[in-house]
Chain A
């Protein structure tokens, strides 16, 4: 199926099924409600086939261009049927499984993620390991029958909902840095795992601390080889900055449209509005080129940091416009629409922090794209 055909068919199907797919509570709902609704939307789109296009057949997909996935996420977020942050986790974790999991494991697990039967999380950051990912210390020790994992992760999004976790562990010496890291695929119901959600500034329990106390992980749950965890992480991160960002950009575009419809006369100047629109447009132009490169089978790398920088900057610009143009709603409003604006404004403050901070992205550009050498 090609993109124009897919686009027309998906649009028609979404029109026909709008009543079933639209959340009763709107997207200003609690995270519990959003997660339940996300599962419903994923299940229905999977069962209708749309969610399966763009994924390889060996993991339950129907094949076809990755552009189809980019379009589905765009269509769902543009219609306000899903929140892109939680929807696009699939775009980050499924490709990693496809590239690094033993084939039979990927074939069993990926369809569950695509269909919304399961939620997965990504255990990367630790209390002592933020930007310096290679310093992580959550330890996995090889015993006779399994890995034994002990340590702590933090900022693990959706861990309290997750059935599985893509976990980075230290298997080499503490000094082994990026060479001694191994990625594991962990069942979250394994004894010894404790999850404690953390309340964010925007009022959601979106991310968690996750504690591992002598947790057994079978050897066949190793992603890639022992010591290959850094490669797994480095290949995963560009996925965070490609299709997922396309979805987020499409969502922001719709939100900007809402701002424009709601803003009071004179509350934003033409210059302010024009600049924000232009930033979002430039991001979309950049991301479009990235989507085409993915479609052409190119391997993504450090250049996706440019996409991330443009998106994070645009996202904050969009919501700065909300803070100025809809200040009554953001500051005083306690109705659901105002609460959503406020929550989104507050959430946008994290856009330059999560998924590699603005500073780390610029370090990557300097080191890898401009070849400026080491920074010390």
Chain B
């Protein structure tokens, strides 16, 4: 995409992500040609859509689509994918005897999806099978963020209707693709929270002046801005670098940043931000869940520290 095409695409995406969610957003994205844009310019397609989706607080099946694409699976549009349980990044499936077992999550609740891809195996090599949705046990999750439409997925002795052996690095690539996407979604949600808090701080008058004039409030919002910029920079680096390592770094930084932004913005929005009359709570809920999808900041950070301590050296990073 050149700059003009990108801008046009961004404007269209902004409209559809603001006005639609779930199946309606999926349909709008199809009409817009997002699926075609994904292989042509994955960076633009993913960063634009997920940041806008995060900013609007809407949902789509785009995460499933890009995870499947990263697995190298060329499937029909009505196929979903099972993601690992919260905080995990290993494949959610396992091979047991003749059948496949699975325990994980589906975003968007697999609505309208007759078939689902289950990836089994380890990072060293994996097996992808297609199973019928009807064979799975689905628990529609209300939970912390009901609007995200999560379903808990379990199944045992599943028989595959199709199977493939993706290359050994495919699962890591799929996780990395998902982490970058969710990273952008976290940044988008963070920007909205900061925008809401900023607006409130400028309008809310106490002691005869807007609370935005008080340094304690200004510094919280400044902290939130710095956190967002840090996450944004690690995402840029992740696209430039393209490795699972940089994607995990970006996801961890974006997850922690979004939680930081949520904390500061909620404090600035004070009473009204604690009510359902204001939108903030939707984003506070959303970022906590997104942080825990495909590896949360805490686990990713601890694992990173363990690796570094085991090796006693640092990887070379982000060359000029």
Chain A residues close to B by CB (< 8 Å): 3, 7, 67, 70-71, 74, 253, 256-257, 260-261, 268-275, 277-278, 281-286, 288-289, 291, 306, 309-310, 359, 361-363, 365-367, 369-370, 372-376
The 4 closest A-B pairs by CB, nearest first: A270-B305, A274-B305, A366-B218, A274-B301
Contact among B236, B304, B317 for A289, CB-based, below 8 A: B236
Contacts of A273 on B, CB cut-off 8 Å?
Answer: 304-305, 308-309
B309 and A260 contacting across the interface, CB-CB below 8 Å:
yes
Contacts of B218 on A, CB cut-off 8 Å?
Answer: 362-363, 366-367, 370, 372, 375
In the bound complex, what is the Cα–Cα distance between A270 and B237 (angstroms)? Answer: 23
Interface pairs (13), CB distance under 8 Å: A70-B320, A256-B314, A257-B313, A270-B302, A270-B304, A277-B305, A281-B249, A282-B231, A286-B230, A372-B198, A373-B202, A373-B213, A375-B214
Answer yes or no: B176 CB below 8 A from chain A CBs. no
Contact among B210, B214, B223, B314 for A362, CB-based, below 8 A: B223
In the bound complex, what is the Cα–Cα distance between A309 and B304 (angstroms)? Answer: 24
A260 and B312 contacting across the interface, CB-CB below 8 Å:
yes
Answer yes or no: B225 CB below 8 A from chain A CBs. yes
In the bound complex, what is the Cα–Cα distance between A257 and B311 (angstroms)? Answer: 11
Contacts of B309 on A, CB cut-off 8 Å?
Answer: 260, 268, 270, 273
Contacts of B194 on A, CB cut-off 8 Å?
Answer: 370
Across chains A and B, the number of contacting residue pairs, with CB separation under 8 Å, is 137
Most chain A C-beta atoms within 10 Å of own C-beta, residue among B198, B214, B302: B302
Answer yes or no: B26 CB below 8 A from chain A CBs. no
Contacts of A306 on B, CB cut-off 8 Å?
Answer: 225-226, 229-230
In the bound complex, what is the Cα–Cα distance between A25 and B234 (angstroms)? Answer: 38
Contacts of B230 on A, CB cut-off 8 Å?
Answer: 282-283, 285-286, 306, 310
Most chain A C-beta atoms within 10 Å of own C-beta, residue among B194, B202, B230: B230
Contact among A284, A309, A370 for B198, CB-based, below 8 A: A370
Answer yes or no: B172 CB below 8 A from chain A CBs. no
A370 and B222 contacting across the interface, CB-CB below 8 Å:
yes
Answer yes or no: B233 CB below 8 A from chain A CBs. yes
Contacts of B318 on A, CB cut-off 8 Å?
Answer: 281, 284-285, 288
Question: If the complex has contacts A270-B306, A282-B230, A282-B253, are A3 and B320 also in contact, measured as CB distance less than 8 A?
Answer: yes
Answer yes or no: B181 CB below 8 A from chain A CBs. no
In the bound complex, what is the Cα–Cα distance between A373 and B302 (angstroms)? Answer: 40
B253 and A278 contacting across the interface, CB-CB below 8 Å:
yes
Q: Number of B residues contacting the other chain (C-beta, 8 Å)?
A: 43
Answer yes or no: B215 CB below 8 A from chain A CBs. yes
In the bound complex, what is the Cα–Cα distance between A74 and B249 (angstroms)? Answer: 22
Question: If the complex has contacts A270-B302, A271-B305, A285-B233, are A257 and B314 also in contact, measured as CB distance less than 8 A?
Answer: yes
Answer yes or no: B219 CB below 8 A from chain A CBs. yes
Question: If the complex has contacts A270-B306, A273-B308, are A282 and B234 also in contact, measured as CB distance less than 8 A?
Answer: yes
B305 and A375 contacting across the interface, CB-CB below 8 Å:
no
Contacts of A275 on B, CB cut-off 8 Å?
Answer: 301, 305
Most chain A C-beta atoms within 10 Å of own C-beta, residue among B215, B229, B231: B229
Contacts of A270 on B, CB cut-off 8 Å?
Answer: 302-306, 308-309
In the bound complex, what is the Cα–Cα distance between A370 and B230 (angstroms)? Answer: 16
B226 and A274 contacting across the interface, CB-CB below 8 Å:
no
Q: How far is the CB of A173 from chain B (nearest CB, A)?
A: 28
Contacts of A274 on B, CB cut-off 8 Å?
Answer: 300-306, 308
Answer yes or no: B106 CB below 8 A from chain A CBs. no
Chain B's closest residue to A374 (CB) is B213
Chain B's closest residue to A371 (CB) is B198
Instruction: Beyond the given A256-B314, A272-B305, A275-B301, please list 6 additional residue pairs across the A-B interface where CB-CB is below 8 A.
Output: A71-B320, A257-B314, A274-B304, A306-B225, A369-B222, A375-B215
Contacts of B234 on A, CB cut-off 8 Å?
Answer: 281-282, 285
Answer yes or no: B46 CB below 8 A from chain A CBs. no
B210 and A373 contacting across the interface, CB-CB below 8 Å:
yes
In the bound complex, what is the Cα–Cα distance between A281 and B213 (angstroms)? Answer: 33
Chain B's closest residue to A282 (CB) is B230
In the bound complex, what is the Cα–Cα distance between A283 and B231 (angstroms)? Answer: 10
In the bound complex, what is the Cα–Cα distance between A306 and B317 (angstroms)? Answer: 20
A372 and B221 contacting across the interface, CB-CB below 8 Å:
yes
Contact among B201, B213, B301, B312 for A278, CB-based, below 8 A: B301
A286 and B233 contacting across the interface, CB-CB below 8 Å:
yes
Chain B's closest residue to A287 (CB) is B233
Answer yes or no: B269 CB below 8 A from chain A CBs. no
Q: How far is the CB of B81 from chain A (nearest CB, A)?
A: 28
Q: How far is the CB of A265 from chain B (nearest CB, A)?
A: 9
Contact among A70, A281, A365, A375 for B317, CB-based, below 8 A: A281
Question: If the complex has contacts A260-B312, A270-B305, are A370 and B237 also in contact, measured as CB distance less than 8 A?
Answer: no
Answer yes or no: B175 CB below 8 A from chain A CBs. no
| Residues 214-252 of chain B, each 1 if its beta carbon lies under 8 Å from chain A, else 0 | 110011011101100111011011000000000001001
Contact among B213, B219, B226, B252 for A310, CB-based, below 8 A: B226
In the bound complex, what is the Cα–Cα distance between A283 and B194 (angstroms)? Answer: 21
Contacts of A281 on B, CB cut-off 8 Å?
Answer: 234, 249, 253, 317-318
Chain B's closest residue to A361 (CB) is B222
Question: If the complex has contacts A260-B313, A260-B314, A362-B218, are A277 and B223 also in contact, measured as CB distance less than 8 A?
Answer: no
Answer yes or no: B35 CB below 8 A from chain A CBs. no
Most chain B C-beta atoms within 10 Å of own C-beta, residue among A70, A256, A284, A286: A286
Q: How far is the CB of B194 from chain A (nearest CB, A)?
A: 8
In the bound complex, what is the Cα–Cα distance between A272 and B230 (angstroms)? Answer: 19
Contacts of A260 on B, CB cut-off 8 Å?
Answer: 308-309, 312-314
Contacts of A359 on B, CB cut-off 8 Å?
Answer: 215, 219
B317 and A271 contacting across the interface, CB-CB below 8 Å:
no
Most chain B C-beta atoms within 10 Å of own C-beta, residue among A67, A261, A275, A369: A275
